[in-house]
Amino acid sequence: MSAVLITNIGELTTNVGAEGDPCGTMTDAAVLVVGDRIAWVGPAAEAPDASARFARSTTGGEPHAVEVVDAGGRAVIPGFVDSHTHLVFGGDRAEEFAARMAGQSYAAGGIRTTVAATRAATDDELRHRLSGFVDELHAQGTTTFEVKTGYGLTVADEERLARLAAEVTPEVTFLGAHVVPVEYADRRDDYVDLVAGPMLDAVAPHSRWIDVFCETGAFTPAETERILAAGAARGLGIRVHGNQLGQGDGVRIAVALGAASVDHCTYLSDDDVASLAASDTVATLLPGVEFSTRQPYPDARRLIDAGVTVALASDCNPGSSFTSSMPLMIALAVREMGMTPAEAVWAATAGGARALRRDDVGVIAPGARADLVLLNALTRVHLAYRPGVPLVERVWRGGAELT
């Protein structure tokens, strides 16, 4: 079994929270990784003892060599958990983006452009594209990510998008209810029947989650409730796209159905905030969308002050947010949404893990998966303080270094 000791860490974000410090910060720290798990976390001065204990405590054969990494006083954080992406698609919408920057507004209907390009792409083309995105995520420190379907919108296409997504992550979400495809424009009830019936049957075996875009121009509250209930009856966990383009029922439905997460949360009533605060549903904020659509940013401060658990995610997709950069999400959340750097880093790691109902990632603690990012910076604050600068120096996922 391989072992890595990362020592001389100037600032370690464990996310094992203490009162007043949800990031569970340690200074002058070390982390010992054995196999794919974190074996020990503690003061750097005690690291040699911990390593020696491990070297002696193996199964009776030769002690294992421990690779020592000197962090040089720099910061280490948990790998980012990006709990919301749409990474299986064909084509792009650069022209739509350019038109928007020239004054047009964002509309959900643009999704249909990507649906056409995705249907026209072969499995291998989609797989190749997806694998490029996975490399992009890893290089930026993301070690856990969710992927949604939603650009197929036929039984066969949604099934293949879920199958391709499942090749790269266990966190696959069925989003057949992304928009009503053009061929069903005049019979949307038939499309809802399809999604809640045969499409769900085909996609559920590849999926962990179900999601609905609950918004004017996408799916109504009644349609949303029906589709989510069908998914839950098949054993899928619930996620909701809600309150992105205006006030609506997304948050209400998500909380009522015990969703793991309601995502966007840009337009919230006081009742929405109060019900989120009283629930286990995470509010996942996606500031790449507001950046790229020129909508107002969600008010993270209002949510956190009310006691809501907040996650940050990229929403990487070709329409509303074509970026996979979690450091950019942190910078936007701090600059535009009232989050402190510590809150934003927590939300991009432990918050994402909560949104996926995972306790094995998003923390640096014994027994957790060894997902670690060494920053080329002395503190995590630099992620917001130096926007656009590639500060992710080295990344380990499950104890293996990603290059």
Q: Which residues are annotated as a binding site for Fe(3+)?
A: 84, 86, 241, 315
From Fe ion, ligand NIG, none, which one binds at residue 371 (CB under 5 to 8 Å depending on kind)? none
* Minimum gap (Å) between residue 86 Cβ and Fe ion: 6
From Fe ion, ligand NIG, none, which one binds at residue 110 (CB under 5 to 8 Å depending on kind)? ligand NIG
Q: What is the DSSP letter of 104?
A: P
Contact between 47 and 34 under an 8 Å Cβ cutoff? The reply is: no
CA distance 391 to 382: 8
Beta carbons within 8 Å of 261's beta carbon, 6+ residues apart: 83, 84, 239, 240, 254, 281, 282, 283, 284, 311, 355, 356
Residue nearer to Fe ion on the CB measure, 10 or 248: 248
What is the identity of the amino acid at 220? Answer: T
What is the identity of the amino acid at 350? Answer: A
The one among 114, 142, 149, 324 contacting ligand NIG by CB under 6 A: 114
Total residue length of the chain? 403
Residue span 220-239 as binding mask against Fe ion, x where in contact by CB under 5 A, dash where not: --------------------
Tell me which stretch binds ligand NIG (CB under 6 A): 5-13, 108-116, 269-277, 392-400: 108-116
Residue span 332-361 as binding mask against ligand NIG, x where in contact by CB under 6 A, dash where not: ------------------------------
**Residue 383 Cα distances to 14, 30, 132, 203, angstroms:** 16, 21, 24, 37
Is 289 near ligand NIG (CB under 6 A)? yes
What part of residues 306-335 is at the interface with Fe ion (CB under 5 A)? 315
Contact between 169 and 145 under an 8 Å Cβ cutoff? The reply is: yes
Which among 135, 51, 127 is positioned nearest to 90, based on CA atoms?
127
Give 322: exposed, middle or buried? Use CB within 10 Å, 0-12, 13-18, 19+: middle
The one among 15, 83, 244, 284 contacting ligand NIG by CB under 6 A: 244
Query: Rounded to the nearest 5°, which phi and psi values hold at 145?
Result: -150, 150
Residue span 213-232 as binding mask against ligand NIG, x where in contact by CB under 6 A, dash where not: x-------------------
Is 51 near ligand NIG (CB under 6 A)? no
Binding stretches for ligand NIG (CB under 6 A): 110-111, 114, 213, 241, 244, 289, 315, 317-320
